[in-house]
Amino acid sequence: MIVKQLAFIVLFSILGFATRANAYNPQHLSILLQTKQCPGCDLSGANLNQADLREADLRNAYMAGANLQGANLSGAKLVRADLSRVNLSQALIVGADLNQAHLANANLSGADMRLSRLSFANLLGADLSFADLSGAVLMGSVLRDANVVGVDLNRTYLKRTTMPNGEIESNDYRYR
């Protein structure tokens, strides 16, 4: 019996089925708050509620499950960041670079994302209700199953973007 259990554990470890825990690195959090420079940091599950992260460099950061409710990320660099299941409700994300960011199942309700760059971003299942995306660029992004009730898409660039219903937007700009 013990041999079978050990074999099972070894097999799953070798195949990489172990899940990553949502526990941020305290040193990374300290560096971010002091310098606003933390590319590649592990901030998964961190509480950054109302944090001032304007112009922060968080490229390739792992922030899954973090709380950034009401945070100011205006002008931040979040290219290829993992923001899955993150709470960004009521956050200021004006002019941020979120190209290729992973925002699946993120809460972006009421977020101010004007002029942000979200090309090739994954917003699968994200809550964008009442977010302001006016003037944003979402070329090639995925919004499938996203909640877009009340979203401001005025002057938003949506070419080749997969919309919530699965259709691909072919127009360059959305005007209301």
User: d(Cα 155, Cα 175) in Å, to the nearest integer?
Assistant: 6
User: d(Cα 139, Cα 123) in Å, to the nearest integer?
Assistant: 12
Residue 59 has a CB neighbour count (10 Å cut-off) of: 20
Which CATH code for domain 38-176?
Answer: 2.160.20.80
What DSSP character marks residue 166?
S
Percent with pLDDT over 90 in the chain: 77
Residue 26 has a CB neighbour count (10 Å cut-off) of: 10
> Per residue in 52-70, pLDDT tens?
999 999 999 999 999 999 9
User: Do 83 and 62 form a contact (C-beta atoms < 8 A)?
Assistant: no
Does pLDDT of 18 surpass 50? no
> Average pLDDT, whole number, for the chain?
88
User: d(Cα 176, Cα 46) in Å, to the nearest integer?
Assistant: 37
H-helix or E-strand spanning residue 35: helix 26-35
Per-residue pLDDT at 173: 66
Taking the whole predicted model, whether its pTM rises above 0.75 is answered as yes
Does pLDDT of 3 surpass 50? no
Among 35, 39, 28, 27, which residue's Cα sits nearest to residue 52?
A: 35
Strands 168-169 and 161-162: antiparallel
